[in-house]
């Protein structure tokens, strides 16, 4: 109902009026000039304690003329573009999740644009040093020297792997898919049985999207079956 005229609108008419009001808002800028200067920040190393290649880049415009489009660049290449609402002079915030970056240095830049122009931010440099899985350790329980035992992999803390691989004398004998919950510990156990007397070398590898990490080799001597 229009309170000034006393007219009653149908639901369809009301919806049209809402869309019209939104259109007026969209085409009538509240900003009076080019956007204020945006600032980039990141939480790499703050979210998990590891600079692991998965982090969030945040753009903040604390106050001033708003932008209606935001663009984020990594090493000069556009990786995200978003439309924004002009609520000048209120603050604007955009968060972009970055995942699975390999170890290295990445430079992020951004632009805020409205009908009056474009304003660039200062570069943000992010260093990734812990993208590959953390250090893993192998152990076994073949105390009696027979051919039946377990080989256990433990990664006590660090960047998680998504896959575990175990090699026996250089040959892959087991793979397991792992749940990823960086930086929590990970464990995998391989049951070995029926090995003939002899010497066996075992090495494990943890793999994720950024790379892989190998354990030290352990040696198991089987004296009896």
Q: Are 140 and 175 in contact (CB under 8 A)?
A: no
Record the tokens describing residue 39, joined without a space. 């600032």
Please tell me the predicted confidence (pLDDT) of residue 12: 82
Tally of CB atoms within 10 A around 206: 27
5-57 residue pLDDT tens: 556 768 887 777 677 666 665 666 788 899 999 999 999 999 889 999 999 99
pLDDT confidence of residue 2: 45
The per-residue pLDDT for 14 is 74
The alpha carbon torsion through 80, 83, 87, 92 (nearest 10 deg) reads -10
Enumerate residues 6+ apart whose C-beta is below 8 A from 7.
1
Please check whether residue 158 is in contact with residue 133, taking contact to mean a CB–CB distance below 8 angstroms: yes
Q: What predicted TM-score, i.e. pTM, was given to this entire model? A: 0.76
Q: What integer pLDDT is reported at residue 26 of this predicted model?
A: 61
Q: What is the pLDDT of residues 69-123, one digit of tens each?
A: 999 999 999 999 999 999 999 999 999 999 989 999 999 999 999 999 999 999 9
**Number of C-alpha atoms within 13 angstroms, CB side, residue 199?**
3
Average pLDDT score, the chain: 92
Q: What's the rounded Cα separation, in Å, for the pair 65 and 36? A: 5
Question: Would you call 23 helix, strand, or coil by DSSP?
Answer: helix
Peptide bond into 89 cis (omega under 30): yes
183 cis-preceded (ω within 30 degrees of 0): yes
Residue 193 CA to its chain's centroid (Å): 39
Other Cβ atoms closer than 10 A to 63: 12
> Which domains occur in the chain, in start order?
31-128 (2.60.40.10), 137-222 (2.60.40.10)
């Amino acid at each position: 109902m229009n309170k000034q005229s006393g007219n009653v609108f149908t639901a369809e008419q009301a919806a049209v009026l809402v869309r019209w009001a939104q259109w007026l808002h969209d085409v009538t800028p509240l900003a009076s000039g080019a956007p204020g200067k945006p600032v980039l920040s990141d939480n790499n190393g703050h979210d998990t304690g590891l600079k692991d290649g998965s982090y969030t880049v945040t753009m903040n415009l604390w106050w001033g003329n708003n932008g209606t489009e935001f663009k984020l660049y990594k090493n000069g290449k556009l990786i995200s573009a978003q439309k924004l609402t002009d609520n000048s002079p209120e603050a604007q915030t955009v968060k972009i999740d970055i995942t699975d970056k390999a170890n290295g240095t990445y430079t992020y830049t951004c632009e805020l644009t409205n009908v009056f122009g474009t304003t660039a931010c200062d570069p943000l440099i992010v260093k990734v040093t812990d993208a590959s899985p953390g250090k893993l350790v192998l152990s076994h329980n073949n105390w009696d020297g027979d051919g039946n035992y377990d080989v256990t992999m433990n990664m006590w803390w660090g960047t998680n792997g998504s896959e575990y691989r175990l090699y026996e004398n250089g040959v892959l004998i087991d793979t397991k898919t792992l749940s990823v919950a960086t930086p929590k510990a990970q464990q995998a156990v391989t049951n070995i049985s029926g090995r003939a007397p002899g010497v066996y070398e075992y090495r494990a590898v943890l793999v994720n999207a950024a790379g892989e990490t190998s354990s030290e080799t352990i040696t198991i001597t089987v004296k009896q079956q």
